[in-house]
Structure 1
Amino acid sequence: MPAPIDTHISQQLLECETATIGHFRENGFIDPAIHSLLAQTRVVGTAVTLSLPPTDGTLLNHAMRLVRPGDILVIDRQGDDRHACWGGVMTHVAKKLGVGGVIIDGMATDAQTIQELGFPVWCRGISALTTKLAGLGGTMNMPVTLGGLVIHPGDIILADESGVLVVPAQEAVTIASKAIMLQQQEEAILQRVAQGECLPDISGATEIIERVNRIEP
């Protein structure tokens, strides 16, 4: 199992919105089609990676013996978009174990149970067709491809209702500090707008447009 994320870094990142980081960073975001089943959520944790054969969920069942509180399961479905590998039973078990959440490049099922339990799940959609215990193999804690992004076991995951971001460990503190600063600046901007100022004047957009207009022939 990969080394768990540092508690201090985890606490810092929990203050950050993925969309705030999206204002200044291009890399590390997975395909937005992999979306949260909860209307509001935010998790930070250590990536525990799985690659599952399309029809088989045996290795995922086995992983529930190994996962630790705060781990985030990151599941490559090897291109399968029909079989749900995650449902109500897995949700109950994972919640009891303290698992931070699950991110699936594929389908889930039992959305109502997931939402009632408030367990964080990101997936591409819902399917009634599920994986079976077929023992066909797969890999655990090897690099996987999820939503167009390669994720390694032990990577830091920050995920909320806006999306999923992989945060490089060596950049985590810098990214968190910048995001928190921007969120504080946004609060100040909203206060200025509430007092009657014009947003493009505050943001600098007016100045940019005027400068562009001056240099155009």
Structure 2
Amino acid sequence: MGGHVVVTDIERADADVVAALAALGSATVHEAQGRTGYVGPDIRPIQQGAAIAGSAITVLTAPGDNLMVHVAIEQSRAGDVIVVVPRGDSPYGHIGELMATQMQVCGVRGYVTSAGVRDTTELRRMGFPAWTRHISAEGCVKDTPGSVNVPVVLGAAIVHPGDIVVADDDGVAIVPRADAADVLAAATARAEKEAANRVRYEAGEISMDINRLRPVLADLGVSYIPQAEYDRGGR
């Protein structure tokens, strides 16, 4: 369908799966789904210590215009994460304290955007987490149409409405809703393996041995030589 739309009846992911992915974190989830879904390093948290996951309410908006973000708040439910993507770079504060207050009262778990936010001190004070490309005091107008709950491209990831957004201090990863159970299983297995390796590291073993990296170095032609041989130009 062309034009500007607001899709009102999206499917959301299973709440237990969402909670479990939040506990595992963005890095583990990204690795577990084949190193995909990470939105990129330029979308960063404004706070530290927040770790969330939720179903995506997606917003496609004009740069410098937050009209459709207001619509997204209207469409949100408890457990959602609002994801805002402008059509072009938008170094404006698309939300601030007042819009965050509405989202928080609705039960929205957080806000992720490739645009900007403002009132960051207030957002941290009220405990409403946000991940953003820009922090800007400059606000938005409300006079350009856009769409809510349509596919958007957030940094390096495609986000469909209802996909799971996993966000923490390391960044943001997107899990397709249809793949959520499989990704959870893979991420859980990865976390269990890391926990077992942590015990071995704490006992004094090193990753060169645990991960069998010495044959990899040899195959790549990396050699170990004494300093004197290196000084003589030896290889």
Report if TM-score (shorter chain) is over 0.5.
Answer: yes
Q: 1:99 aligns with which of 88, 105, 108?
A: 108
Conserved? CA contact 2:21–2:184, under 8 Å:
yes
Query: Taking structure 1 as reference, are residues 171 and 65 closer, same or farther at Cα in structure 2, changes over 3 Å only?
Result: closer
Q: Mark the runs of 5 or more structure 2 residues left unpaired by the alignment.
A: 1-7, 223-235
Q: 1:28 aligns with which of 31, 37, 41?
A: 37
Report deviation, 1:115: 1.2
Inter-partner Cα distance in structure 1 for 2:206 and 2:64: 55
Report deviation, 1:75: 0.5
Inter-partner Cα distance in structure 2 for 1:55 and 1:197: 53
Measured against aligned partners, the alpha-carbon deviations of 1:79-113 in whole angstroms (never above 9, x if no partner) come to 13322101111112211111011111111101111
Inter-partner Cα distance in structure 1 for 2:155 and 2:28: 20
Equivalent residue for 2:183? 175
Inter-partner Cα distance in structure 1 for 2:75 and 2:182: 31
Equivalent residue for 2:94? 85
Measured against aligned partners, the alpha-carbon deviations of 1:108-150 in whole angstroms (never above 9, x if no partner) come to 1011111112212110121011102x32211111222211333
Runs of 4+ in 1 over 6 A off after TM superposition: none
Inter-partner Cα distance in structure 2 for 1:171 and 1:66: 24
After alignment, is 102-111 or 74-83 more displaced?
74-83
TM-score (norm 1): 0.89
TM-score (norm 2): 0.83
Q: 1:9 aligns with which of 3, 13, 17?
A: 17
Q: Mark the runs of 5 or more structure 1 residues left unpaired by the alignment.
A: none
Equivalent residue for 1:157? 165
What RMSD in Å do the two structures reach over aligned CA positions? 2.2
Query: Taking structure 1 as reference, are residues 186 and 149 closer, same or farther at Cα in structure 2, changes over 3 Å only?
Result: closer
- In the alignment of these two chains, the number of paired residues is 215
Report deviation, 1:48: 0.9
Equivalent residue for 1:187? 195
Percent identity between the aligned chains? 28
Conserved? CA contact 1:201–1:207, under 8 Å:
no
Q: Would you say 1:44 and 2:53 are equivalent positions?
A: yes
Conserved? CA contact 2:116–2:136, under 8 Å:
yes
What does 1:104-143 align with in structure 2 at a 5 Å threshold? Answer: 104-132=113-141, 134-143=142-151
Q: Quick one: which amino acid aligns to residue 131 of structure 1?
A: C
Report deviation, 1:211: 5.0
Bigger radius of gyration among the two:
2
Query: Taking structure 1 as reference, are residues 142 and 171 closer, same or farther at Cα in structure 2, changes over 3 Å only?
Result: closer
Conserved? CA contact 1:144–1:151, under 8 Å:
yes
Conserved? CA contact 2:20–2:184, under 8 Å:
yes
